[in-house]
Structure 1
Amino acid sequence: MPWAKPAPRFVSRGQAYRQLDDEQYPGFTDNDFQMEPNIRMLSRRPTGFVELGLQEVEFVNELHNTDAEKKTDLHLFVQSLSKCLGATKFGLSFEFQDLGFKPPKSTKPILSDVSGTINAGSLWGVMGASGAGKSTFVNVLMGKTAHTGGVTKVNGVAGKISKYKKIIGYVPQDDIVLPELTVRENILHSARIRLPANWSDSEIQSHVDILISCLQLAHVQNSLVGSTAAPVISGGQRKRVSIGMELAAAPMALFLDEPTSGLDATAAASIMATLKALSRLGMTIVTIIHQPRQEIFESLDSLVLLGAGRMIYCGPEEGIQPHFEGLGFQFPDHTNPADVMGDIIAGEGRHYKPKGDATVQGLIDHWATRQMDRPGLNKHSSTITVSEMNSLTAIVKLRGAPWYKQIWFCFQRSVLQQYRMKSSFFFELGVGALAGFLIGLAELNAKGQNFRGIFNDPYEVLSSSIDYASVPQMSLLVGLAIGLTASAPGVKIFGEEKLVYWREAAAGHNRFAYYMGKVLSTIPRMVLANFHFTTMFILLATPVIGWLPAFAANLLYFYCIYGLASCISMITRREDGPLLAVMSSLIVGVLNGMSPTLQKVRSWHIVWLWRASPGTWLAEAYFTQNIGPLGYLYRIEFARSALGYLLNKFSDDLLMLFVIGTALRIFAFLGLRFMWRAKQR
């Protein structure tokens, strides 16, 4: 330990774990958890400050005895956690028995017969060779994987851990953060979404400020995170941001997948020191770790060792060396015990045990035999009282902002992202203006005369060659231009954040709020792009249709193309999305009833396919607005009959464009919600 521990102060267990005041959570007196008969007679292992024999302030002074500012920051963070959790020593313990996982198409399980207990308020490491099942174990334990077996308990209560995901943090191996946001903005968004609904914004802001200081990110809090390809902050700082996004939710337990991966020795040690401090605050920290340096290894309270998907050891870190020495392995002097242990569980134990069984299977069999001598999952159980369980239920229910606030927060974040990506936004506006200019230029020679029909009686004999196709052709060009303008940006907005969405969905974010925030944030973008396109088009083409009707029809077609792009982005890979979206926009643009005409399509009995395309409704809207005013001069009913469009249905056409665009978004949301469900657990 890097700090000197003072003489222990004797604190009674009753004082250390006084029951939570039931009046602290008015209105939450029910308990929807199945309680075991013996839960009232069990107590929990001392954790946090009580385990150290310290009071909160004393612990803070010991931890940071040379930096007064950090003393204050950590003390305030403890107070903030206490306010959120109800008690600083209130953590989660996890018990598991016979955990297993077998992929659907595999005959051999990846994980089997894994049993043990993870005590609350401690720092646990999960170690093993590559392919040993470390990530699988954590995913099964957290309920992130289907096709599993076994029993899991949280604080002695059987059930799925996923029901507690609002109070359990998970930090993936890859730093899934938004590069367009600053350090503080990434953490603040997570806090606003996941902290208790009754917290004011000022309280949330204060909590985030304290957390940023504790994570030593205050000096870069206003810096953009940047992408891994173009980083702005260091790798260690980026990892702290990822951890901070989970700590912002004040979790009772935190799982991390190789938090030191890709970091240098100093940054890795700093991250682990932070996790050690958090465990001493009462949190349960479980981290997958690979080849740790000695200082990091010795900072772990306990370890889970896995080999070939089976348990090799589960217990205190100081018991590792005696355990393997008891099996005949020798730890050479002046070596890192973590390296020796790593070699042994990776199947290289012969270097440390010249004679006898040194295989991984032998280690597995020995641990299984040892556990048979100590049957019972609850022998070392770490449970809580009924009153504490009721309080835990109340905490879970209070967590998370209401869905309508989450929509607002997600909308704000998405708008800010688009603002930070100005080049992409201005490029879309430029493409829209250029497309409108080119389409208008193509129609310039017509000088707005896009229709010639048969004159009304008695002037039929004066009629020359008819022209029914120019208006549908014009609408075709408009549809193709809008498709080319909006399809790629639509994919970029919706499709490049699947990893962010999966992480947030797994953390308990409202999926509908996330998607609605994204949808609403695209409206200003569509309006501005359409304004540039329609203005340039109307100025040059001067069609009969007015600017406002054309703006409304074009805007709704933008709405449809963005919806189509969101559907494409949900079902394709990121790199394939823009191309497929452009191709799809061209297809729906061509299906506009010009050639073949709707009248011809009706004879094929597949007119529904054309009517399902927004291109047909855009063409019909343009047909009505450009042909209808000429009814005093031409027999426009002949043209309507020849082409198959309907006249005087402009409002219905706009309504159908809105319906199609909305339906596409519903399909996209369903794809987002139900595809890749395992990644959202």
Structure 2
Amino acid sequence: MMPPEQENPKGSSATAETISIQIEMAAASSSNVSPCPAPAHHHNNDHSSLFNFSDLLRESLHPLVLQFDDVEYAVKLQSRRGVCCPSSRSKVTRTILNGVSGAVKPGELLAMLGPSGSGKTTLLTAFAGRLPGKISGTITYNGQGFSSSIKRRIGFVTQDDVLYPHLTVLETLKYAALLKLPSKLTAREKMEQAEMIVQELGLTRCRNNIIGGPLLRGLSGGERKRVSIGQEMLVNPSLLLLDEPTSGLDSTTAQRIMGTLRRLSRGGRAVAATVHQPSSRLFRMFDKVIVLSEGCSIYSGPANSAIDYFASIGYSPGFNFMNPADFLLDLANGVPPDSRQDDEADFHGRLDLHDDQNSTKQFLIQSYKKNLHPLLKQELTYHIRKASLSRSSDQTPWTNNWWFQFKVLLSRGLKERKHESYSGLRIFQVMSVSVLSGLLWWHSDANHIQDQVGLLFFFSIFWGFFPLFNAIFVFPQERVMLTKERSSGMYRLSSYYFARTVGDLPMELVLPTIFVTITYWMGGLRPSFITFVLTLLIVLLNVLVAQGVGLALGAVLMDVKPATTLSSVVMLVFLLASGYYIQHIPPFIDWLKYVSFSHYCYKLLVAVQYSENEVYDCGLGFGCSRVMEFPAIKYLDIDHLEFDVAALVIMLVGYRLLAYVALRIAQQR
């Protein structure tokens, strides 16, 4: 075995051309919106403005050798209740990976093959340092363990393309460039780097098309996959990991994607990918192959030697034109090439076939341990010259400061969610309720004290329910995106949290302002501008507290259904304990009103609406009475309003702090 520089001279020379690789692809697969053609050879003037960035990326690309030795991983599963002890549940340990070894060096493309459930994705996730729990064995990067500096040299593309559907291709890559690339680059240089990735991956024609999603027309599958690869290529990773990059794509598009990966590996990177069922054309692109069967290796080595190895232990393809990948997958399933399954076989025949498959798997596993594993051990223990790694990432764990991350995330969030925040349906919902409320309470006055108190209570309840239920969906819906970006070290959790909450404020505050403005004057409340402003401020404070409760519930449960159910119960309790429906709560449960933000909001609204000496007409010849003596108001005990304001402020801070802590705990699971 030779050092990477000697073993792959083409890869070494290509390292000097990093991002300027010429990707030769034909026209891209059809798309619903402006399909992207494959990139043609660029003219020299296309790259002249990007020369400095190519130089910078060449300097930052350090060869990275990934080695893994006897990797084992197991999880504990909850078993069903047993027959003898139906009330008890036992935990069963399931081995996902069992003694997997291998290596991938710069300039190599490693493919991991195997049937579903064989452990391919688990092994790839372990390479990226994202696998929870304890991993046995060793995984090293240039002889070092996983660290923050290593993490920044690894690109990880998940099987599902996790992208914001309402951003365009160029916007997606530009925001990723701003967050991922180091602060020593200016914003313009980062933008130009994103432009270069768009050109190199053949996304020029659809650069201004939105990504799209299940309910939104956008890019085709191959184009979305190229955008996902482009996000990881922005930082010029030394190790690129991809989970099922060809899944769901037609054979032509899959070949183009794999051709792109092969050229990227020839640029001096180590590339590893899981591939479910490659065609023979794809198989010829692989440099190395690992074949897994039920978490165990049955082959690990050069792709062009796999057929010869299995022939040496008695398993040869049935005919010369068989797809090598199909042959390997059959063996991984325990099906030798000469076996035939008779559709008319009886039950006992099928049992015999199952036993034969298990015995075939065991033979292949034992043959691997006897013939290939010792050779892999020698290769892994052979001295590989370590590429120098920059230590700056260990000293500065983030590529950009907190304030820059906050601004970029805020800008991206506003652009992505403007369709939701400013949706006509949401505005119509609030406007229709406000007008209807104004008509129902049309020009009520202090002589209709019960009606006015009901309107104030409606303010506190409606603007408790509405923002709370909107906030519940925030973190559960963005959990996948947050996990992906945080795993790659793009930004701090605190910068995301503040950007997300601040980005929601415009519509969270604009809508209740419009609502109160319309309903307040139509409803005949006190015609005083100061009273109106105080009422509006109280409602806005109530909105922020209710939003904090929704954020906390969503972050704690991270599941929309249970969070919605629990929030319904919470708001029902707050509504009943707020002091409008029940004025004589038993002492043992009277404490509920002190944890209800609706109670404090309702109390403050009543307090600013009526003065101490204001009177109302009792009717029925009883003359007038002081408003403060009205039973529903007297029960509220309007006094020391500063404590009510302080209670809402404490809830505002407390619930949002709880949401942040719960979100951090969820990210650490």
> TM-score, normalized by length of structure 2?
0.82
Once residues 62 and 173 of structure 1 are traced to their aligned partners in structure 2, the CA distance between those partners, rounded to angstroms, is 25
Cα–Cα, structure 1 residues 630 and 436, in superposed 2: closer, same or farther, change >3 Å?
A: farther
Q: Distance in 2 between matches of 1:264 and 1:554?
A: 55
2:56 is aligned with 1:83: yes
In the aligned structure 2, how far is the partner of 1:47 from the partner of 1:474? Answer: 80
Return the offset for 1:573.
3.1
> How far off is 1:154 after superposition?
3.3
Instruction: Tell whether 2:159 aligns with 1:178.
Output: no
1:410 is aligned to 409
Encode CA deviations 1:539-566: one digit per residue, 9 max, x unaligned. Answer: 1222237221111111111212222222
CA contact (8 A) 1:239 1:259 kept: yes
- Encode CA deviations 1:638-664: one digit per residue, 9 max, x unaligned: 969941434251x54344323323322
Report the equivalent of 2:231.
245
Q: Which among 357, 379, 382 is matched to residue 381 of structure 2?
A: 379
Q: CA deviation at 1:486?
A: 2.7
C-alpha separation in 2, matches of 1:231 and 1:577: 30
Structure 2 vs 1, CA of residues 551 and 344 (structure 1 numbering), >3 Å: closer, same or farther? same
Q: Structure 1 unaligned segments of length 5 or more: list them.
A: 1-41, 452-468
2:442 corresponds to which residue? 444
Matching residue of 2:287: 301
Residues 603-650 of structure 1 show CA distances to partners (whole Å, capped at 9, x for unaligned) of 62444432222101101211221233536983848969941434251x
Q: Distance in 2 between matches of 1:228 and 1:396?
A: 42
**Which residue matches 1:361?**
362
Is contact 1:253-1:285 (8 Å) kept? yes
Q: How many angstroms apart in 1 are the aligned matches of 2:72 and 2:562?
A: 36
Q: 1:596-615 residue pairs with structure 2 within 5 A?
A: 596-597=582-583, 600-601=584-585, 604-615=587-598
User: 2:153 touches 2:239 (CA, 8 Å); kept in 1?
Assistant: yes
**What is the one-letter code of the residue matched to 1:100?**
E
The corresponding residue for 1:626 is 609
Q: How far does residue 227 in structure 1 lie from its aligned partner after superposition?
A: 0.7
After the TM superposition, which residues 477-488 of structure 1 pair with which residues of structure 2 at under 5 Å, given as runs? 477-488=458-469
Matches within 5 A, 1:67-466: 67-69=40-42, 80=53, 82-84=55-57, 86-88=59-61, 90-105=62-77, 106-160=92-146, 164-331=150-317, 332-351=319-338, 359-370=360-371, 373-374=374-375, 375=377, 378-384=380-386, 388-389=388-389, 391=390, 393-394=392-393, 397=396, 400-421=399-420, 425-444=423-442, 446-449=444-447, 451=449
Structure 1 residues 301-330: Cα deviation after superposition (integer angstroms, max 9, x where no partner):
111211111122222212212211111121
Contact 2:161 2:224 in 1 (8 A): yes
Rate the CA distance shift 1:108–1:433 in 2: closer, same or farther, 3 A.
closer
The match for 2:658 is 667
- Counterpart-to-counterpart distance in 2, 1:110 and 1:249: 31
- In the alignment, which of 504, 511, 519 is matched to residue 485 of structure 2? 504
Which secondary structure does the structure 2 equivalent of 1:219 belong to? coil
CA distance in 1 between partners of 2:459 and 2:321 (Å)? 76
Aligned equivalents of 2:592, 2:54: Cα separation in 1 = 57
Structure 1 partner of 2:345 = none
Moved more, 433-442 or 74-83: 74-83
Deviation of residue 358 (structure 1)?
7.2
SS of the residue corresponding to residue 218 of structure 2 reads coil
CA offsets 1:512-541 (integer angstroms, 9 cap, x no match): 211211100111111210121101111122
* Residues 55-70 of structure 1 aligned to structure 2 (within 5 Å): 56=16, 67-69=40-42
Report SS of the residue matched to 1:478: helix
Structure 1 residues 241-293: Cα deviation after superposition (integer angstroms, max 9, x where no partner): 11112222322211111010001111111111111111111122111101111
Q: Percent identity?
A: 22
Q: Do residues 527 (structure 1) and 509 (structure 2) align? A: yes
- Residue 617 of structure 1 corresponds to 600
Asked if residue 515 in structure 1 is aligned to residue 475 in structure 2, the reply is no
Residues 441 and 451, structure 2, Cα contact 8 Å, conserved in 1: no
Maintained 8 Å contact 1:435/1:481 = no
Which amino acid is 2:507 matched to? R
Distance in 1, Cα, partners of 2:559 & 2:364 = 42
- Counterparts of 2:320 and 2:228, CA distance in 1: 38
The code of the aligned residue for 1:432 comes to V
The answer to whether the Cα contact below 8 Å between 2:110 and 2:272 also exists between their aligned partners in 1 is yes
Distance 2:369 2:47 in 1: 42
Contact residue 244 and residue 275 of structure 2 kept, 8 A: yes
**Counterpart Cα distance in 1 of 2:632 and 2:19:** 84
Distance 1:645 1:315, change over 3 A: farther
Separation in structure 2 between the aligned mates of residue 53 and residue 250 of structure 1, nearest angstrom: 16
Instruction: Render the CA deviation track for 1:438-494: whole Å, top value 9, x for unaligned.
Output: 33334336324464xxxxxxxxxxxxxxxxx66653332112222343344334444
Secondary structure, in 3 states, of the residue corresponding to 1:349?
A: coil
Q: Hey, what's the Cα distance between the residues in 1 that align with 2:293 and 2:200?
A: 36
* Counterpart residue type for residue 658 of structure 1: V
What does the per-residue CA deviation read over 1:400-439, in whole Å, with 9 as the maximum and x for residues that have no partner? 22122111111111111222336x6333232222223333
Size of the alignment, in residue pairs?
A: 611
CA distance in 1, matches of 2:45, 2:332: 43
Amino acid at match of 2:64: L
Using the alignment, how far apart are the partners of 1:58 and 1:637 within structure 2?
A: 80
SS in 1 for 2:384: coil
Distance 1:666 1:516, change over 3 A: same
Over 3 Å counting, the alpha-carbon distance change for 1:214 and 1:576 in structure 2 is farther
Equivalent residue runs for 1:505-584 within 5 Å: 505-508=486-489, 509-544=491-526, 546-570=531-555, 571-574=557-560, 581=567, 584=570
Instruction: After superposition, give the CA deviation of every residue in 1:186-242 in whole Å (9 maximum; x if it has no partner).
Output: 111111111112211011001000001111001111111111333311111011111
Q: Does the 8 Å contact 1:190/1:249 carry over to 2?
A: no
User: Greater CA deviation, 519-528 or 49-58?
Assistant: 49-58
**Structure 2, gaps ≥5 residues long:** 26-38, 78-91, 342-355, 616-624
Distance 1:316 1:536, change over 3 A: same
1:461: which partner in 2?
none
Cα gap change, 1:348 to 1:50, in 2 (>3 Å): same
Structure 2 equivalent of residue 11 of structure 1:
none
Report the more deviating stretch, 603-612 or 69-78. Answer: 69-78
Structure 2 residue matching 1:413: 3-state secondary structure: helix
Shift of 1:584: 4.3
Gap change, CA 1:564 and 1:254, over 3 Å in 2:
same
Structure 2 counterpart of 1:529, one-letter code: L
* RMSD (CA atoms): 3.4
State whether residues 92 and 154 of structure 1, in contact with CA within 8 Å, keep that contact through their aligned partners in structure 2.
Answer: no
Q: Please name the residue that 1:592 is paired with.
A: 578
Deviation string, structure 1 residues 22-69 (Cα, Å, up to 9, x no partner): xxxxxxxxxxxxxxxxxxxx9655477654666846996886699541
* Cα gap change, 1:630 to 1:295, in 2 (>3 Å): farther
Letter in 2 for 1:220: C
Aligned counterparts of 1:293 and 1:239: Cα–Cα separation in 2: 18
Kept after mapping to 2: 8 A contact 1:76/1:210: no
Q: Which residue, out of 643, 652, 673, partners 2:635?
A: 643
Indicate how the Cα distance of structure 1 residues 45 and 188 shifts in structure 2: closer, same or farther if over 3 A, else same: same
Q: 1:352 to 1:358 in 2, by over 3 A?
A: farther
Q: Secondary structure at the match of 1:351?
A: coil
Q: 1:569: Cα distance to partner? A: 3.0
1:653 corresponding residue in structure 2: 644
Cα distance in 1, alignment partners of residues 291 and 49 from structure 2: 36
Distance 1:477 1:53, change over 3 A: closer
Code of the residue aligned with 1:552 in structure 2: it is L
Q: Which amino acid aligns with 1:625?
A: V
Tell me if structure 2 keeps the 8 A contact 1:491–1:568.
yes
Take 1:47 and 1:536, find their aligned partners in 2: how far apart are those partners?
A: 76
Relative to structure 1, is the Cα distance of residues 59 and 492 closer, same or farther in structure 2, using a 3 angstrom cutoff? closer
Change (3 A) 1:591 1:412: farther
Q: Report the secondary structure of 1:109's partner residue.
A: strand
